[in-house]
Amino acid sequence: MQSPFAVLANSIINHPKTVAAVVIGVILLMIFFASGVTMKTGTETYVDITTPSGSLIKHYEETYSSNSVILMFEGDGVYMPQTMDYLRVLSEDIENEYQVVSVSSVVNLFDIYNGGVIPGSEAEIKSFVDEHKNIVPGAATTGTMTLMQVVLQPGLSHSAATAALHNIRSVVAGHSPPPGTSVTITGTAAFADEMMVSMGTSTGMLIGLAMLLMVIAMAILFGHVRYRFLPVGIVAMGVLVSFGVMGATGTGLSMMVIAAFPVMIGIGIDYAIQFQTRFDEEVRRGSIDKAVYTTITQSGSAVAIAMVATLLGFIALTMSPFPMVMDFAIICVVGVLSCYICALVIVPTFGKLVNYRPIDQKPHKNGKGNKIPLMERYDILLGKIARWISNYPVGVLLLVGCIAVVGIFLDDRIIINTEEDAMVPPTMPAKVSMAKMSSAMGASSTISLVVRTDNIFEPDTLRWIHGFSEYESLKHSEITGKTSIASVLVSMNGGVLPQDREQIAALLKLVPETTLSRYTDGQMEAVVEFSTEALDLNGMNELLSKMRSDLEWYRNDPGMTVGFTGPLTLFGDMVDEISDTKSKMNLAGFGLIFIFLLLIYRKATAITPVIPIIMIVGWNSVIMYVLGLEYNLLTATLGAMTIGVASEYTILIMERYEEERKNGLLCHEAIQMSIQKIGTAITISGLTTVFGFSALTLSEFPIMSNFGLVTVITVAFSLMGAILVMPAVLAIMSRMQDWLADRKPARAF
């Protein structure tokens, strides 16, 4: 029975046009499915909403923190009566728009406490607002700025939220503000909309840049073969197939999934180069049909082993608790597999259809007058270096091993940063306007506490909410404010919490519906918002840890459940989760690849290709620490991804080494010959992979540009590990095998 590789080879030899037609049909089908790819942002990309903490965060966002649009009014006359009239008319028109739940601004204060009458002077308005502004969400005002909060319906799809945002913009454009007053639209809905636009633009830009860099790399490094740009076309088809799979399976395009495409381009170009180089080599030796068969049956299986090892590195990333990382891993697997299949099928099919002929290599004279091709001279140099390293393997391994050990100790000192602001373009208008708003109103953060019980309006429950809020405010100087339904009732009752049900019920009738829905969800749930100083993520995590300890100590009423949640809790907990999982993903990657190699080679030396990769992972930590780079959702995947990328180079070298040993060469000669024969191919593959990854460094998203930088360094380290460390490991392993063979007692006959 023929192997699948032999069946494919014979099909291309006998029916190349049919195979080409099938390839074209699949590509067209994938283009159709690719049109269904959608953008994906929000909580679902950061946390699994099926878990208890994830579902609580999702519930909090949909109930208390729905998509909101903030209108920021700036000018010297924000307290002028005509400005208040303008705000009233604008808010009434916006409130009539579809998908708008409520509109809150300073004018609501006049409706509640002044019978809807706007005071006649600037001083009266200012005094009135300062006295009551904490009652209405969105009523924050300074001398030169006031805000209007437009709350959209919870659970809106991206398209519906975008449509509502555009409607609000149209209403604002239809009203002329008072002279000297400007209007800026910002808030979470505007932030999400601009994020989507930026992601779409960034996706096209990164893929285009990666392809352009591939063309440059092929022009410089791949000139010794005919049709040097064929690998770029093959990778482009692999990307199209990946987009098609995403569209067919409904996988959304998030920030991390965008980063997967330059990764798959960088790795996929390697497969195309390997197959085209082998095909070109075989055509020089014999017929095209023989070249097709040998390339597919020999290189196809060898590269498949390296590819599976790469995929196992990415599969280890599925251990991550973050959906965005899991999507990144899955798309990398799909993309790498697609690029491999495209390269395996298209290179020999194209060669058969065009009747491929190799080009003559240009020789260069050495000092003795002999003509030696440039690539061969490079191979000879690498072979000599590998031979020298194999003569002194212990010293080499001690040197690189010490650096790796330093990296392991430094890894825990690398800062973990999960703040969303650090992930998005710094010049994004919504981000700039939100930063401006925070600067004017006072930068702050919010920690949210959700309280659930049978009746949130019971006196004992309100006393607990008020008491715990006061306790935390007094205990932690970082807390600058606390708001809840209890604080609203205290404000309405002369600074005293109402003590009986009748008084509470009477006051609740006076609370605006927008305020009530802001702090409660029916009668069984309420939220407490703790405002804090503008803390960095580490400071926020430390405060949150203390507040959680307080919550465990502070006695709850029977039947009451409480828990902290919200965006800051989400991003804060991500720090601990990244710290806990990145090492586990690395170990899983090492374990999966070692088990796979053990099954393939069935001997202990299967660990040989893994040893240089351990060194590389340690080097990564050293360079990240030295350069001051941070761990985030993307760079936390670096270890497992390094394992996948570097394993290809080390496996290919070990494969060739084993082949040379079978041909009768001794250890040092086999090491020299294996590096000498495939050193150029590995170098070209590695450098072109660097070109593909380097596209990420040009991204406007900081999370991706930093990832691009560390992946470029990682691929460079992978080349060094394969060419410089692998010879030392092979030499040590050979010595160990010889030592074990000498100690093995001779078999008696």
pLDDT higher than 60, residue 365: no
Structure tokens at 468: 């715990």
- pLDDT at site 522: 85
Question: What are the backbone angles phi and psi of residue 289, rounded to the nearest 5°?
Answer: -60, -40
pLDDT higher than 80, residue 402: yes
What would the mean pLDDT of 584-609 be, rounded to a whole number? 83
Tell me the pLDDT band of 13, cut-offs 50, 70 and 90. Answer: very high
- pLDDT at site 749: 41
Q: Bridge-partner residues for 102, per DSSP?
A: 151
| Range with lowest mean pLDDT among 52-66, 243-257, 331-345, 444-458 | 52-66
DSSP 746: P
Show the DSSP H helices in 554-609 as ranges: 567-601
Predicted TM-score of the model (pTM): 0.74
- pLDDT at site 160: 78
- pLDDT at site 435: 66
pLDDT higher than 50, residue 744: yes
- pLDDT at site 438: 61
- pLDDT at site 155: 63
- C-alpha 69/C-alpha 148 separation (Å) is 8
Residue 93 CB partners (closer than 8 Å, separation 6+): 171, 174, 175
- pLDDT at site 575: 76
| Range with lowest mean pLDDT among 150-154, 312-316, 424-428, 585-589 | 424-428
- C-alpha 709/C-alpha 85 separation (Å) is 53
- pLDDT at site 237: 92
**CB count in 10 Å sphere of residue 392:** 11
CA-based nearest residue to 544, from 417, 448, 660: 448
Tell me the pLDDT band of 141, cut-offs 50, 70 and 90. Answer: low
Tell me the pLDDT band of 21, cut-offs 50, 70 and 90. Answer: very high
| Range with lowest mean pLDDT among 112-121, 326-335, 464-473, 662-671 | 112-121
- pLDDT at site 345: 94
pLDDT higher than 70, residue 1: no
What would the mean pLDDT of 653-677 be, rounded to a whole number? 84
What would the mean pLDDT of 564-586 be, rounded to a whole number? 79
Write the pLDDT tens digit of every residue in 320-362: 888 888 888 888 899 999 999 999 999 999 999 999 888 775 5
Question: What are the backbone angles phi and psi of residue 222, rounded to the nearest 5°?
Answer: -115, 30
What would the mean pLDDT of 473-496 be, rounded to a whole number? 88
- pLDDT at site 221: 74
| Range with lowest mean pLDDT among 120-129, 241-250, 545-554 | 120-129
pLDDT higher than 60, residue 517: yes
Domains of the chain: 1-63+222-360 (1.20.1640.10), 67-193 (3.30.70), 364-426+580-741 (1.20.1640.10), 429-572 (no CATH)
- pLDDT at site 293: 92
Is 700 in contact with 203 (CB distance < 8 Å)? no
Is 441 in contact with 140 (CB distance < 8 Å)? yes
- pLDDT at site 219: 82
Tell me the pLDDT band of 145, cut-offs 50, 70 and 90. Answer: confident
369: left (phi over 0), alpha (psi -120 to 50) or beta: left
More confident residue, 600 or 441: 600
- pLDDT at site 580: 79
pLDDT higher than 80, residue 19: yes
Mean confidence (pLDDT) of the chain: 82
Tell me the pLDDT band of 363, cut-offs 50, 70 and 90. Answer: low
Tell me the pLDDT band of 17, cut-offs 50, 70 and 90. Answer: very high
- C-alpha 173/C-alpha 607 separation (Å) is 67
- pLDDT at site 677: 76
- pLDDT at site 53: 77
- pLDDT at site 348: 93
